[in-house]
Homo-oligomer: A and B are copies of this chain.
Amino acid sequence: MAELPPVVARMWDREPTTRRGPRPRLDLATITMAAIEIADTEGLAAVSMSNVAAQVGVAPMALYRYVGSKDELLTVMAESAVPPPPERGNLSWRAYLATWTRLNRDLLLSRPWLLDLRQSTPPMGPRRLLWLDRALDALSGTGLDDGEKFNAATALTGYALTNATLTHSLGAGGEKFAAGAKGATEYGEILAEVLDPATYPALSAMMNSGLLRDSTGWMEDADFRFGLDLLLDGIEALIARSAR
């Protein structure tokens, strides 16, 4: 029986019910909600212990009664921001996983600070695991083995993440990205200016044909579906193969 890391315990409400001392004025949920609200409105950079504490009306150090460190708080935020997964209904595995992945991506786009958080941790909270469970469940009739199902779900989440990242950085969010360019158009202009056709033959040919120049329609929904179908086609091929 492994010992639960403190954050995990807190995410699953495994805290021992308090015995002595003054009643806590807060709980983890309100702190987390306050932090999320700050992240939503002012960005992740504004989520400092001081700001969060001020938001809930408490001295900064009080937060450490509920959270071991700022990193823990961020982890809990990443978990709490996740809504329940979509209902299966009577969708085929493919249709379900398509909306599952799309909603996953939409979540990341609606809360861009999730992109800045380290997704490097495998899911441990109840909500993220529920998503995982539903994806596995959708694949349960297909004859794939456990490892294949898990890998398929992983690949889909990963795609949602990278697509959201790309869409957001190029996108209408209006956020500057690190290099200072403002969007797909400017990105294309920069590339066109800098590329030597001799060393970058394929890329500069693509630039000349104007891919990024007419930036309407760039990174539209079709581009998301493209990669999604790539993966779903792959899964479908795998299912067909393992049915034999």
Contacts and interface: CB of A to CB of B under 8 A. Distances in A.
Interface residues of A, number: 81
A61 interface: no
A206 B120 contact: no
Interface of A: 1-2, 4-8, 12, 71-72, 74-75, 115-116, 118-122, 124, 129-130, 132-134, 136-137, 140, 146-152, 154-155, 157-159, 161-163, 165-166, 168-170, 177-181, 186-187, 189-191, 193-195, 199-203, 206, 209, 211, 223, 226-227, 229-235, 237-238
Contacts of A162: 154-155, 157-159, 161-162
Contacts of A230: 152, 155, 230-231, 234-235, 238
A174 to B, nearest CB: 14
B206 A146 contact: yes
Contacts of A120: 115-116, 165, 168-169, 177-178
A121 B152 contact: no
11 contacts: A2-B181, A4-B190, A6-B180, A121-B178, A124-B179, A146-B209, A148-B226, A155-B162, A157-B162, A162-B162, A232-B234
